[in-house]
Amino acid sequence: MNETVHANRKHKDSVFRMLYSRKEELLPLYNALNGTDYQDPGQLEVTTLENAIYMNMKNDVSFLLDAEMMLYEHQSTWNPNMPLRDLFYISRLLEKYVSGESLYASTLIKLPAPHFVVFYNGSQDAPEDLTLRLSDAFEGRKGYPQERKEPELELKVRFLNINRGHNEGLMKRCRTLREYSEFVSRIRQYADGETAIEEAVDRAVTECIAEGILADFLRSQRAEVIAMSIFEYNEEEELKKYGQAEYRSGEINGKAEGKAESVILALEMKGTVPEQLKDRIFSEKDISLLEDWLKAAIGADTIETFMDRTGLKEK
């Protein structure tokens, strides 16, 4: 079987997504993570959302297998907000999953058990294997009695460092992940110094093909892989520059835009957001006000209620 996973193309593509766009490669990754031995890629049912609202709250690929729903995402920058992002995403996935069912029926609607994994290969140091929790973001828990209580809402994301030399047990169990890690490592190694990134990527691709590292994949997709790798490397370097200069105007605008996107995502869970309202939210640069709007969006039953509570109905 040569079936392709329809990964999230609304967001910019990446080598990682492209590599795991085939079920034949995705299934061994699942097996390596879970200690299973599934053999039939046809058992995978892809559930990745294609809605444009997820352009900046992306999920690279999600799929169903044996009553479990897996959500995988690749990242080259550290992001502690993954549990919140995945909460929004899984809510929409489950809403789609139970479409046609009555939530008021007397029988229990069975749901697949969700699992969230982030594959990190950024250049900054990061833990080997870490669990990110939604409750870490809850205000007022630190130092109070409620900190010792189990939170009433929780979502856990497994964070895995897949850089060369990390999680070697997992790498041994999954050939493509190990070879992908080696490929990225060589690009960084060759680009370190005076070598142009274009030359570094071309050298890494040529060497990996010659040495049998992702050889078939790189040989068949060479031009696209080179273009993607150059883009990803340049983007990572730009993000590092932002991190070295906190509170520059560009970063402040970026934070405001990120808050605005969270507000829109929360509202999308209530229904269709009018374009005029989206424009108003995205035009706001006051981060504290955007935080208030986010709380209102989460707490409102409808978009109309949100607009009434925030005074945006007349704007």
SS3 letters across 54-85: HCCCCCCEEEEECCEEEEEEEECCCCCCHHHH
Instruction: Assess whether 216 and 254 both reside in one domain.
Output: no
C-alpha span between 260 and 280 (Å, rounded): 10
Is residue 28 in some structural domain? yes
Instruction: Assess whether 296 and 184 both reside in one domain.
Output: no
Selection from 54, 50, 36, 47 nearest residue 72 by Cα: 47
Instruction: Assess whether 276 and 170 both reside in one domain.
Output: no
Residue finishing a domain among 221, 241, 267: 221
Structural domain of 174: 15-139+149-221
Task: Flag whether pLDDT at 176 surpasses 90.
Answer: yes
Residue finishing a domain among 221, 239, 266: 221
At 13-40, the pLDDT tens digits run 589 988 988 899 999 999 999 999 999 9
- Is residue 109 within 8 Å of residue 103, measured between CB atoms? yes
Instruction: Assess whether 126 and 259 both reside in one domain.
Output: no
Task: Flag whether pLDDT at 185 surpasses 90.
Answer: yes
Q: Which residue has the higher pLDDT, 51 or 182?
A: 182
Confidence of residue 4 (pLDDT cuts 50, 70, 90): very low
Instruction: Assess whether 78 and 180 both reside in one domain.
Output: yes
C-alpha span between 215 and 210 (Å, rounded): 7
Instruction: Assess whether 82 and 177 both reside in one domain.
Output: yes
Instruction: Assess whether 74 and 190 both reside in one domain.
Output: yes
Instruction: Assess whether 158 and 122 both reside in one domain.
Output: yes
C-alpha span between 127 and 124 (Å, rounded): 10
* Cβ neighbours for 104, distance < 8 A, ≥ 6 positions apart: none
Selection from 78, 70, 74, 82 nearest residue 136 by Cα: 82
Task: Flag whether pLDDT at 51 surpasses 60.
Answer: no
Confidence of residue 207 (pLDDT cuts 50, 70, 90): very high
* Cβ neighbours for 138, distance < 8 A, ≥ 6 positions apart: 151
Instruction: Assess whether 263 and 187 both reside in one domain.
Output: no
Q: What values do phi and psi take at 225, rounded to 5? A: -65, -45
Token representation of residue 70: 């897996």
Is residue 231 in some structural domain? no
Is residue 230 in some structural domain? no
Element of type H or E holding 161: strand 156-161
C-alpha span between 129 and 4 (Å, rounded): 29
% of the chain beyond a pLDDT of 90: 44
Instruction: Assess whether 274 and 186 both reside in one domain.
Output: no
Is residue 9 in some structural domain? no
Is residue 244 in some structural domain? no
Instruction: Assess whether 207 and 255 both reside in one domain.
Output: no
Instruction: Assess whether 182 and 308 both reside in one domain.
Output: no
Residue finishing a domain among 221, 239, 261: 221
At 67-102, the pLDDT tens digits run 999 999 999 888 889 999 999 889 989 998 999 888
Task: Flag whether pLDDT at 300 surpasses 90.
Answer: no
Q: Minimum mean pLDDT among 49-63, 161-175, 200-214, 271-285: which range?
A: 49-63
C-alpha span between 265 and 281 (Å, rounded): 12
Is residue 158 in some structural domain? yes
Query: How many separate domains does the chain show?
Result: 2
The neighbour count for residue 292, using CB atoms within 10 Å, is: 14
